[in-house]
Amino acid sequence: MTGELYQMCCLTAAAKRALFGGEKFEFELTAYENKTEFLFLPNIRQSGILKRTVKNAAKWYAYCVKKGLRDIKLIVRTDIPNRNVLGFANTSGCYILCYFKNGEITAFMPRWDFDRRLKKWNILYTEQLCLIPYVKPYGDDNSDALREVLIEIGDFAERIDCPYFANTFERALRVLDGEEPPSSMLPLPRIPEKYLPLFCAADIADVFGAMGSWNDSPAYTAHKMGLDEEYGDISGRLLKNIRLAIFYTVNEWR
């Protein structure tokens, strides 16, 4: 999955561990991230309007707790009209939702900017007020649905002569079914161990990006073979089930 979404998974899981498990908030930047900062909504005080920016994730969590954080959710968009945009920064449509004891609900929206000198990313999360009902979104275990689409798209990749992607989907299936241990090149989100196979399978199967991705030559090959409709349908179902798996594994535990 994209670094943007992966970071939000790690932030949400770390906050949940600390908030509900009484553990220390643990989060680390990856090699391609320079800094992650958080801009909170202004507070109106006697001295006027005060904006507060914190310089790292630990301070973000601490300030959220000070504000009365009672729950946190990663909101994952499942309806992506154009999968091709996922190869670019700031296109995930996802954000972190915070619920506070005073009834306030706010969203932390990320913005990624590339520092060409450092060749790393600077990330700023901006807090925004959410005028939505307090009813929280919930998700279900979609392992069976993800398994089904992985089998289908693996067969489709073989038919259009894309063995690399066929192997990728097969590996995701092995991880999902416990035939291969869950792993990642990045530090895994601090979610319970039983959720890791589904999370890592979704991560592996997320092949939507720019050049060299499932959006690139496989789409062209499918078009040449007259399989546009099948390619579009199966790709859409895979992306939806990847996003549903991420939502479930990051959010549905305490």
| pLDDT confidence tier of residue 49, bands split at 50, 70 and 90 | low
- Asked if residue 45 has pLDDT above 60, the reply is no
Q: Is 212 left (phi over 0), alpha (psi -120 to 50) or beta?
A: left
Question: Tokens in use for 193?
Answer: 């161990």
Predicted confidence (pLDDT) per residue in 147-202, tens digit: 999 999 999 999 999 999 999 999 999 999 999 999 998 999 999 999 999 999 99
Question: Tokens in use for 235?
Answer: 């790709």
Q: Which pLDDT score, from 0 to 100, does residue 87 have? A: 86
- Asked if residue 240 has pLDDT above 90, the reply is yes
pLDDT exceeding 90 applies to what percent of the chain?
Answer: 87
**Which residue ranges make up each domain of the chain?**
3-129, 143-251
Predicted confidence (pLDDT) per residue in 78-131, tens digit: 988 889 899 899 999 999 999 999 999 999 999 999 999 999 999 999 999 987
Report whether 36 contacts 126 (CB < 8 A).
Answer: no
